[in-house]
Amino acid sequence: MTKHAYWRSQLRRIAVLLGVWAVVAFGLSIGLAPVLNEISFGGIPLGFWMAQQGSLFVFVVLIWIYARASDRADRAAGLDETAATTSSASDAH
């Protein structure tokens, strides 16, 4: 994989994940909140829950997906971290 292709795939991944985050954070939590409030989740209106908790859960999952996908892309491009490319706490002393 060339350097250009690597960064193009990284930017595409970031754009897709930010798009998902925007839909969840703004679309579900703000735009569709009145509609979602007709549904109850654990006794709480779903629109309110999405605004307060759900979007945070989705954000954490998106971070996890990004980290996993980036690690795979780094390995495929030969850019993964090894003992030779990282320092440990014992090296600092």
Q: Which residue has the tokens 């994940």?
A: 17
pLDDT, one tens digit per residue, over 59-88 is 999 999 999 999 999 998 888 877 777 776
Round to whole Å and give the CA distance between 1 and 43: 50
The 3-state DSSP class for residue 41 equals: strand
CB-CB neighbours of 29 under 10 Å: 21
Sign of CA dihedral 52, 58, 61, 63: negative
pLDDT, one tens digit per residue, over 26-37 is 998 889 999 999
- What pLDDT score was predicted for residue 89? 56
- What pLDDT score was predicted for residue 92? 56
- Average pLDDT, whole number, for the chain? 88
